[in-house]
């Protein structure tokens, strides 16, 4: 019996120059390499470019992205890493805090895809990281690209609520006098 099917949105093609930053924690190097390969393929297929930096572990990924979000001109970010459950509660701390940090960045407007795997063992990690398998690195890159496309779609729209700029108010008053 087959499992549930998963719907995957078509990855947007970028019509304007688009540059992403891949932030990877290569603690499990083989897993990280698979995630990076998948992400790079998706980014390049979409017509975008990327830079990549490495950080020591998954907890440092949100901090690195936050710094780049504040101080650089990247359009989006891809967070890649792997957390494998061990014998202590450190696993829970790293999973929760890295995820929370990325979520908060997203809520602040960073277009990012979360490709930090949280798994029980190396076999589960490789099944998800393998670019010829579940390709979660590619999925994280696609998520960032989707959010970039949405922000570009909405960047010049307003809700029509609030005060008018001072110059516009003066112009309206002058027009009403005529």
Instruction: Count the domains in the chain.
Output: 1
pLDDT value, residue 6? 79
Residue 2 within any structural domain of the chain: no
β pairing state of 19-24 and 76-84: parallel
Residue 171: Cβ within 10 Å count = 12
pLDDT value, residue 8? 87
Residue 120 within any structural domain of the chain: yes
Residue 26 within any structural domain of the chain: yes
Residue 8 within any structural domain of the chain: no
Residue 115, strand partner residues: 80
pLDDT value, residue 94? 97
Concatenating the DSSP letter of every residue in 66-115 gives HHHHHHS--SEEEEEEEEE--SSTHHHHHHHHHHHHHHHHHHTT--EEEE
H or E segment at 137? helix 136-154
Residue 66 within any structural domain of the chain: yes
Residue 80 within any structural domain of the chain: yes
pLDDT value, residue 5? 77
Q: How far is CA 164 from CA 25, 155, 171, in A?
A: 47, 18, 11
State the residue range of the domain holding 28: 19-177
Q: Give the pLDDT of the chain (178 residues) as one tens digit per residue.
A: 566 777 889 999 888 999 999 999 999 999 999 999 999 999 999 999 999 999 999 999 999 999 999 999 999 999 999 999 999 999 999 999 999 999 999 999 999 999 999 999 999 999 999 999 999 999 999 999 999 999 999 887 666 655 555 555 555 556 666 5
In angstroms, rounded to a whole number, what is the distance separating the alpha carbons of residues 83 and 87? Answer: 13
Q: What is the pTM of this model?
A: 0.86
Active-site positions read 90
């Amino acid at each position: 019996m087959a499992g549930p099917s998963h719907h995957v949105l078509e990855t947007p093609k970028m019509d304007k120059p688009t540059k992403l930053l891949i932030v990877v924690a290569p603690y499990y190097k083989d897993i990280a390499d698979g995630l990076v390969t998948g992400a790079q393929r998706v980014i390049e297929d979409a017509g975008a470019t990327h830079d990549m930096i490495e950080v020591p572990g998954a907890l440092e990924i949100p901090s690195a992205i936050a710094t780049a979000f504040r101080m650089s001109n990247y359009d989006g970010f891809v967070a890649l890493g792997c957390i494998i459950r061990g014998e202590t509660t450190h696993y829970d701390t790293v999973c929760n805090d890295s995820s929370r940090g990325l979520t908060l960045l997203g809520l602040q407007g960073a277009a990012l895809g979360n490709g930090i795997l949280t798994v029980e063992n190396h076999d589960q990690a490789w099944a998800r990281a393998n670019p010829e398998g579940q390709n979660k690195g590619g999925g994280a890159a696609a998520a960032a690209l989707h959010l970039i496309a949405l922000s570009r779609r909405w960047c010049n729209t307003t809700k029509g609520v609030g005060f008018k700029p001072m110059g516009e108010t003066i112009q309206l008053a002058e027009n009403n006098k005529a």
